[in-house]
Structure 1
Amino acid sequence: MDMHSTLLVTGATGTTGARLVRRLAEGGHRVRAAGRRATPVGGAGPVAFDWFAPATHEAALSGVAGIYLVPPIGDPEPATVMLPFLDRARRAGVRRAVLLSSSLVPGGGPGTGAVHAALAETFPEWAVLRPSWFMQNFTGRHPHAESLRDDATLVTATGHGRVGFIDAEDIAAVAARALTDALPHNRDWVLTGPGTLSYDEIAATVAGVTGRPVRHRAVPEAELRERLARELPAEFAALLAGLDRMIAEGAEDRVTDAVERVTGRPPRSFAAYALAHREAFTAAAR
């Protein structure tokens, strides 16, 4: 993708989108930052964009050669709105698309799996990023971060299952390469950090950098589903609780070299991330 191409980043104020916009802009690329409000991000030109408002799609796509696709948050069936958009993007002249999916969702699987499967059929140049769980879940506005700050507690249905937690900065670095490399990747990448950790070990790491007694409380899947449903749609709460069960069964206990293969450097460890963000684990960080 040449330096004069316009790149559209959806979810531009989100966890990976904002970091990607900054990287692309700093690299001299023309970036259009798309969000529900036309909010300037990292010096990129903003544009209003809403997955559920097709009237916003034409302006967002005008003159665009590549797109970073972040599915609508909390939607268990994102293909309903995303597949028509992909077709519209192809007809508008978009050549390359990079989709943010999940490590536990293969092409053709549930949720973003249907979008993943359609990508190669729609665009000549494509990549799917399938990251493991974000380290930012423990420091941002995620329920895990809230419970760490409020109660020094993590509540999951993961048991002793292990996860290759990844820093969103590493995801953004891979996304930037997938969007701008001269040769398209035309594949999916399962992205992890350098090792796997259980939530007990996450709690111990946070306790070590903060000096607070932090614990992981393991609960049954049904209890977690009910807990999540207080704040989320029931179907989405069930999906998230089911992912925790899959972690407990070992589905996320893996490490890949994808970050290093794409970017040329190893991914950040959770120990390094926690040390750099130790103030974010306390109530004073609000």
Structure 2
Amino acid sequence: MMQKILVTGATGNVGQEVVHLLLLQNCHVCAGVRNPLKAKQILGSNVQCIPFDFTNPDTFTKAFKEVDKLFLVRPPALANVRQQIAPALNAAKLAGVEHIVFLSLLGAERNSFVPHSKIERYIDQLGIPATFLRCSFFMQNLNTTHREDIKTRGELLMPTGNGKTSFIDVRDIAAVAVRTLIEDGHQSRAYTLTGKEALTYYDVADIFTSVLGKPIRYNPSLLKFVQQTHSSGLPIDFIFVMVAIYTTARLGLAGLITSDTEQLLNRSPITIRQYIEDYAECWL
């Protein structure tokens, strides 16, 4: 019998791609979303969308019904793991979910401050077999969170100093996630997913300038980053998490390069130049 896979964060960068790839594999996939009607406009009418909200326990029972596997994405705005994430994980355990693939963060096992680390530990405490995908910085954050900075101001605004980052494309992350969801042998494993090169944001700005044909500069100011993200309406908890993640890069902890992505996909990871070429219209 075909296993049922619930995808949270299904309308996000990684989630959308995971849903798409699972459908190509003819999997029984459901998208757990807060607004099913809106999600169908994004994901397509052929995707089964189920009401699910981490902050609304009333949605848990129906969402986890007969679910065998869970692709877990932490909503960026939710930073209090015990209050906002743990109840859903408890419900998943109670419903009999057999395997969780969690979209985690590079170095989460060493950085106890970030919510991803707390989620990993809580999943382990529950005893649900899991696969942790500890991903480096998403390339696609540059065409979502940082799109306007790049497009309108020609600026990469991140407080990472001269630290290098092993950027990874979400298309590669999703491809790995799908393999770990549909294949045996990935339970109780953690994969550190990176690209094949580590670059400073000065390097990235130069590649943007080359590909887009307009000057893009890098601004590492922490003060301006906090001021600008706060004025844009982002919650302060979310900003603190972003600063913590960028601090790992500034301290030289985000430049790790592993072979996990290449080995799991049997090909080289997408480069940041290829990514910028593919998404160029976002910033023009």
User: Greater CA deviation, 107-116 or 43-52?
Assistant: 107-116
Query: Quick check: 1:19 aligned with 2:17?
Result: yes
User: Greater CA deviation, 189-198 or 33-42?
Assistant: 33-42
2:179 pairs, out of 168, 177, 180, with 177
**Aligned mates of 1:163, 1:275 — CA distance in 2:** 19
Query: Quick check: 1:29 aligned with 2:27?
Result: yes
**Aligned mates of 2:212, 2:245 — CA distance in 1:** 29
Q: CA deviation at 1:185?
A: 3.2
Q: 1:146: which partner in 2?
A: 148
**Aligned mates of 1:28, 1:107 — CA distance in 2:** 37
Q: Counterparts in 2 of 1:40-51, with a 5 A limit?
A: 40=40, 41=43, 43-51=46-54
**Aligned mates of 1:214, 1:107 — CA distance in 2:** 33
User: Greater CA deviation, 11-20 or 97-106?
Assistant: 97-106
CA 1:195–1:79 in 2, change beyond 3 Å: closer, same or farther? Answer: farther
Q: CA-atom RMSD, angstroms?
A: 1.7
Q: 1:68: which partner in 2?
A: 71
CA 1:161–1:113 in 2, change beyond 3 Å: closer, same or farther? Answer: same
Return 5+ residue gaps in structure 2 as ranges. Answer: none
**Aligned mates of 2:86, 2:274 — CA distance in 1:** 39
Q: CA deviation at 1:258?
A: 1.1
**Aligned mates of 1:226, 1:238 — CA distance in 2:** 12
Q: Counterparts in 2 of 1:132-171, with a 5 A limit?
A: 132-139=136-143, 141-142=144-145, 144-171=146-173
1:96 pairs, out of 95, 99, 108, with 99
Contact 1:95 1:123 in 2 (8 A): no
- TM-score between the two structures when normalised by the length of structure 1: 0.91
Query: Quick check: 1:122 aligned with 2:141?
Result: no
Contact 2:77 2:237 in 1 (8 A): no
User: Aligned with 2:263: secondary structure?
Assistant: helix
Q: 2:206: which partner in 1?
A: 204
Contact 2:160 2:220 in 1 (8 A): yes
User: Greater CA deviation, 128-137 or 231-240?
Assistant: 231-240
Q: 2:241: which partner in 1?
A: 239
Q: CA deviation at 1:123?
A: 4.2
Return 5+ residue gaps in structure 1 as ranges. Answer: none
- TM-score between the two structures when normalised by the length of structure 2: 0.92
User: Aligned with 1:32: secondary structure?
Assistant: strand
Contact 1:33 1:44 in 2 (8 A): yes
Q: CA deviation at 1:124?
A: 4.4
Amino-acid identity (%): 28
**Aligned mates of 1:81, 1:253 — CA distance in 2:** 31
- Alignment coverage as a number of residue pairs: 277
Deviations 1:21-44 (A, max 9, x none): 010111011000111111332532
**Aligned mates of 1:124, 1:147 — CA distance in 2:** 41
Q: 1:228: which partner in 2?
A: 229
